[in-house]
């Protein structure tokens, strides 16, 4: 592999003149899916070039998992993926499983740990995963060329001609691994969708997923002083439910439960949050009223929620007085409020902070075996650019690896 930086551009040009600008496979995008595909195709003896307009390969890998990359999830099943065509991802995910990726990680001596059950993170740094992939590309003889944006692609009788960094490059097989729209500062662009449209493919509507919620001013003001507080909740929207921590931020609500449920939320939808998923609140309060009639709701909340959150929530609901002053219907109502706290988010933080893009290239037009366009089998779409989106917890990288390998075995 040759990783080129800006001051290597001149020698890059020279090297190209020397080697020729024709490749068996050109991959657009040196992210998770593109690098995995490059190594796989390279090991098959294909002459592979990966192009990326960014100054570094795998920027999202480096940012992921808080800098430690949640690179897979041992419990990943197809139920962890959203798609308009839910069966599409099954074949690739079955052929390249989390265990396969883990074997690769172990072969490279990358130290890792299981944080939440199934979620594997690097022990030290996400750099270990990126270096592993770049080493694999090097061993497989795949070239990675950075700071080289692809601006145009044209079909030729034998494949494709690309304009990249002002140069014309040709290939037999073209793999589009440009990712989605999330976090433009990390290199995201809509180029993969443009290419799909250019070749007549349908794009399903895209929207930000795994993204924090923003709140309307009144609730935002009430909760803003609680920024930084996290509590375990169960969040529900459109018949999906996630029991994970929720984090209050200066802008709204985040944390794993909110990120997860955001992928199922549409503007205008309500969220139902169970703030005490482990408690039988109504029964607890009825017993407490009997045993300690002078006890207050604040006491009860303090015992089960972070103290500052309990106080703010109590103020928000204007609950006051001893429990003995509440009648049974009041207690039933309080319990519903705590276990089905209903809020209507103002929106989400959008692509600026979203971990993924939902929607994308309609997979009905692609082969689930090779990831190639059914009617144009030398054109492949892999990773986030297609309409397959994982839950939080390592599933999105698992899709990138699996779809990258599937295409790399065929391209």
Q: Which residues bind ligand FDA (CB under 6 A)?
A: 28-34, 51-54, 59-60, 63-65, 69-70, 149-150, 177-179, 182-183, 187-189, 191, 355-356, 383-384, 394-397, 400
Percent helix, percent strand, percent coil in the chain, to nearest 5? 40, 25, 35
* Nearest-angstrom CA–CA distance, 191 and 193: 5
In Å, what is the CA distance from 127 to each residue of 71, 278, 296, 297, 356? 11, 38, 51, 48, 20
Q: How far is the CB of 122 from ligand FDA (least distance, A)?
A: 10
Smaller CB separation from ligand FDA, 36 or 310: 36
DSSP 197-260: HHTT--EEEEEEES-PEE--HHHHHHHGGGTT-EEEEEEEETTEEEEEEEEE-SSEEESHHHHH
Q: How far is the CB of 147 from ligand FDA (least distance, A)?
A: 9
Smaller CB separation from ligand FDA, 29 or 212: 29
* Nearest-angstrom CA–CA distance, 121 and 123: 6
How many C-beta neighbours within 10 Å does residue 320 have? 11
Smaller CB separation from ligand FDA, 65 or 252: 65
Q: How far is the CB of 388 from ligand FDA (least distance, A)?
A: 10
Smaller CB separation from ligand FDA, 365 or 396: 396
Smaller CB separation from ligand FDA, 4 or 286: 4
Q: How far is the CB of 63 from ligand FDA (least distance, A)?
A: 4
Residues 6+ apart with CB under 8 A from 105: 71, 112, 120, 129, 132
Pairing of strands 167-176, 112-114: unpaired
In Å, what is the CA distance from 72 to each residue of 202, 377, 393? 29, 29, 7
Q: How far is the CB of 176 from ligand FDA (least distance, A)?
A: 9
Smaller CB separation from ligand FDA, 28 or 140: 28
Residues 6+ apart with CB under 8 A from 302: 310, 311
How many C-beta neighbours within 10 Å does residue 256 have? 22
Per the CB < 8 A criterion, the answer to whether 402 and 93 are in contact is yes
Q: How far is the CB of 312 from ligand FDA (least distance, A)?
A: 28
- In the complex, residue closest to ligand FDA by CB: 31
Smaller CB separation from ligand FDA, 274 or 383: 383
Smaller CB separation from ligand FDA, 183 or 331: 183
Q: How far is the CB of 36 from ligand FDA (least distance, A)?
A: 8
* Nearest-angstrom CA–CA distance, 270 and 237: 7
Q: How far is the CB of 34 from ligand FDA (least distance, A)?
A: 5
Task: List, in sequence order, every residue forming a beta bridge with 245; answer none if it has no partner.
Answer: 232
């Amino acid at each position: 592999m040759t990783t080129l930086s800006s001051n290597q551009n001149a020698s890059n040009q020279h090297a190209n003149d020397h080697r020729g600008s024709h490749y068996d496979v050109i991959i657009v995008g040196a992210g998770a899916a593109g690098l995995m595909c490059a190594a796989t195709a390279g090991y098959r003896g294909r002459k592979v070039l990966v192009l990326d307009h960014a100054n570094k390969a795998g920027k999202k890998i480096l940012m992921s998992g808080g800098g430690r990359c949640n690179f897979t999830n041992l419990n990943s099943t197809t139920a962890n993926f959203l798609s308009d065509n839910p069966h599409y991802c099954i074949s690739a995910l079955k052929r390249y499983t989390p265990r396969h990726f883990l074997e690769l990680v172990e072969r490279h001596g990358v130290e890792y740990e299981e944080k939440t059950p199934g979620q594997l993170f690097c022990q030290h740094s996400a750099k270990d995963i990126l270096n592993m992939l770049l080493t694999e590309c090097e061993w497989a003889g795949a070239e990675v060329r950075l700071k080289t944006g692809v601006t145009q692609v044209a079909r030729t009788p034998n494949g494709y001609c690309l304009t990249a960094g002002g140069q014309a490059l040709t290939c037999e097989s073209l793999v589009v691994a440009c990712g989605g729209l999330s976090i433009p500062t990390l290199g995201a662009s809509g180029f993969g969708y443009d290419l799909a449209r250019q070749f007549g493919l349908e794009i399903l509507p895209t929207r930000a997923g795994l993204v924090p919620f923003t709140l309307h001013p009144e609730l935002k003001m009430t909760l803003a002083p609680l920024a930084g507080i996290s509590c375990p909740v169960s969040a529900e929207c459109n018949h999906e439910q996630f029991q994970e921590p929720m984090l209050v931020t200066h802008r709204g609500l985040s944390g794993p439960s909110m990120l997860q449920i955001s992928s199922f939320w549409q503007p205008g939808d309500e969220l139902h949050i169970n703030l005490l998923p482990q408690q039988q609140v109504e029964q607890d309060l009825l017993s407490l009223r009997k045993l300690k009639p002078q006890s207050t709701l604040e006491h009860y909340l303090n015992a089960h929620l972070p103290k500052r959150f309990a106080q703010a929530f109590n103020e928000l609901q204007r609950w006051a007085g001893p429990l003995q002053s509440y009648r049974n219907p009041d207690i039933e109502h309080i319990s519903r409020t705590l276990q089905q706290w209903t809020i209507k988010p103002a929106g989400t933080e959008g692509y600026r902070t979203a971990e993924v893009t939902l929607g994308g290239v309609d997979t009905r037009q692609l082969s689930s075996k090779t990831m190639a366009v059914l009617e144009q089998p030398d054109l492949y779409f892999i990773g986030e650019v297609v309409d397959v989106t994982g839950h939080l917890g390592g599933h999105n990288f698992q899709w990138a690896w699996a779809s990258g390998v599937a295409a790399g075995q065929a391209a």
